[in-house]
Amino acid sequence: MLYQCGGDIIATSHWQAEQDGSGSGRGVFLSLWFQNENRLPQTRLTVISYTIVGLMALLLLGFWKLQIIHSDLYAQLAERNRVRSIPIIAPRGAMLDRYGRVIVDNYPSFSVLLLRDDPQQVERLLPQIADGLNVTVDDLKQQLDAATALPHFQPIVVKPEATPGDIAFIESHRADLPVLEMLMVHRRRYPRGGFMAHVSGYVGEVSSDQIEESGGHYRPGDIVGKAGLERQYNDHLMGIDGMRRSVVNSIGREVGRLEQTDAVPGKPIRLTIDYDLQLIAEEALVGKRGAVVAIDPKSGEVLAMASQPSYDPNDFAVRISKDEWQGLNEDAERPLLDRAIQAQLAPGSVFKILMATAMLESKALPADYHVYCPGSAEFYGRTFHDWKKEGHGEVDLHKAIVHSCDVFFYNIGKQLGIDRISFYGGNLGLGHRTGIDLPGEETGLMPSESWKQRVFHQKWYPGETISVAIGQGAIAVTPVQLAYMIGGIITGGRFRQPHLLLSDKSAPEIDFPISDSTVDTVTQGMYGVVNEPGGTAVASKLSGIEFCGKTGSAQVISEQGLKRAGKQAALKDNAWFVGFAPRQNPEIVVAVLVQGGEHGGSAAAPIARDVIKGYYDKKQGRIPPQQLTSQAAPPGIPPSFAAQAAARTGKPDVEAEESVPTNPDPLPAKPEAIPTKPQPVSTTPEPTAPVNVTP
């Protein structure tokens, strides 16, 4: 009753007080009122008060951080939601030949960018994007996963080369696909068919290792040189990207533009290459495995450098597929190998020029030394055969060079010994890099007693020297080394570093003085090889030109091994020839390698002859230089070259449709100086020891 009818009790109490006529009724009423009140303890009120004050302090602190401490940060984030930054890719510099004709340039293209500011929106639109761009959703997701480490506001390239259909799709879906944007880029354009591919090299997306090594210079997605001159002079060719900032609305649509920083194009480079000679060399090698190197021995300028089989660097200009890359690496023809600077092979009888120089300069034997050649000779209990089974009869140094007598040089090698041969070989340019401004040059090998002990922990046997004396056995050279060596010998021991970048500054020079009498004897012998009856390259004689040279044929397997393996093309002798002109004060040296060509006189010498003839025809005005413009390929490339190259690669010869500016004029300023010569690095290719060769 008390809890349900408290009012009645109070009223009763009040009534009783009035009946009693006493004044104590009010005290009874008040006591009953306070007895029914639920009171909070004082400590609870204190805790609640402090809690409220603390929460208010935290809120005020948070507001203070947002508006005072981190105001700049949140202002930037708000700006990013409003302003979008799109990079402007700088075009790479062009590559010009020595006369300013464009060989490698760029063409305009578009890449598709995916804006990742709103990950949920991107995830939702992926199927529609994949369908419109003709790519798979898995491919897009894979690219997104690879970019997880990048900031969300940084767009990524999801399709490097946008087709006209892609461009139309993006433009017609601007409203419902605001996450797609187009980026104008300048793609690299190289001559078709692999023309000069190993010299120019190719470009590709920068790797993670290159980013780390650059110290912040490169960013993910940058296009850099990967091989050849593109890599060697990447910093010179690569420009500085710009940036375009635009205002976008809440759905990402551009509604205005802010400032724009224009890109700074890369600088062009002018090469020492003469396009006309390059064309002759390239066409001569089509269908063969080999290399051609033409050098001016007085300056070290490379006039032509070709290597076949080759690859098409245009395949790398966008993004080469995994299957294509694997196919290039597994190709038995090894198209990625730059044979001009990387093919380390026995030089064969071309090495006899070094042996003749060593004989005369060391004075270990008299200049009129002669031997009788019956077709073979015995050394250290073993018979070594001459390439001419019936022999050469009585032979002196001049006849030994002209007819390439093996027996004569067997005897020279025995008298000199391997260490003396190695001394002259090293000082005449073998066994170390020439320093040419191309990445990946190999060192070759000039053997010695200490080399064999260091590598194989074995002593050098005198019989091994006999094979080395004719350019066989444990010796390996590259075509550019042979051109460098012969060029140095015929100029009296002045070795100019080969280089491809045309510069006002002289190339580094190494001097190893050679007497005039030695130079005259050697050049007379090489003149006889081409111009005297019985010379091993007499079929390549040029009328009115003092064309000199030396043939060589080098076995890749011993005769016993060849008999067991059968007459396989891959095991045929390699054909060499190194020639120069004129006989006095030479202007051009040409080294030619034809793998499996068997005979230097028939396979390699005609190629060198054609290059030197082209040099003189052009010099004397008998043929006009090719007029080149910045087109998909130099127009001077004959259909035969392009067709044969296309047949080998299985790709059609198609002209690019984009139009670009014609040859720039004036010519670019002279680029930086030629790099200094690197230090030699030792290599240890597996030695072979065949003993029977053909000149």
CA distance 202 to 311: 10
Higher pLDDT, 15 or 59: 59
Higher pLDDT, 56 or 358: 358
pLDDT score at 349: 96
Tokens of 208: 């993670």
- Specify the pTM: 0.78
Highest mean pLDDT among 31-35, 570-574, 633-637: 570-574
CA-atom Rg of the chain in angstroms: 41
pLDDT score at 227: 94
CA distance 95 to 104: 5
Tokens of 268: 């062009």
CA distance 468 to 472: 5
Of 347, 604, 601, the residue nearest 468 (C-alpha):
347
Instruction: Please classify residue 120 by burial: count the beta carbons closer than 10 Å to its beta carbon, then call 0-12 exposed, 13-18 middle and 19+ buried.
Output: exposed
Superfamily, domain 275-324+341-643: DD-peptidase/beta-lactamase superfamily (3.40.710.10)
pLDDT score at 160: 81
Mean pLDDT score, 48-68 = 82
Architecture of domain 84-270: Alpha-Beta Complex (3.90)
Tokens of 385: 């055969």
pLDDT in tens, 594-627: 999 989 999 999 999 999 999 999 988 876 665 5
The mean pLDDT value of the chain amounts to 82
CB 494 within 8 A of CB 514: no
pLDDT score at 469: 97
Read off the pLDDT band of 257 (50, 70, 90). Answer: confident
pLDDT score at 6: 46
Higher pLDDT, 66 or 411: 411
pLDDT score at 37: 54
- Reply yes or no on whether the pLDDT at 12 is more than 70: no
CB 246 within 8 A of CB 83: yes
A 10 A CB-CB count for 343 gives 23
CATH 3.90.1310.10 maps onto the chain at 84-270
Give the chain's length: 695
pLDDT in tens, 86-134: 788 899 999 999 999 999 999 988 888 888 877 888 888 889 988 888 8
Highest mean pLDDT among 372-386, 555-569, 642-656: 372-386
Q: Which residues are CB-neighbours of 450 under 8 A, at least 6 positions away?
A: none
pLDDT in tens, 137-180: 888 888 888 777 776 767 788 888 888 888 888 888 887 888 88
pLDDT in tens, 542-587: 999 999 999 999 987 655 555 555 555 567 899 999 999 999 999 9
pLDDT in tens, 502-520: 998 999 999 999 999 999 9
Higher pLDDT, 162 or 34: 162
CB 470 within 8 A of CB 401: no
* Distance between first and last Cα of the chain: 134
pLDDT score at 653: 44
Of 84, 127, 133, the residue nearest 111 (C-alpha):
133
| Pairing, β 156-159 against β 588-594 | unpaired
CATH 3.40.710.10 maps onto the chain at 275-324+341-643
CA distance 202 to 225: 6
CB 279 within 8 A of CB 304: no
pLDDT score at 620: 86
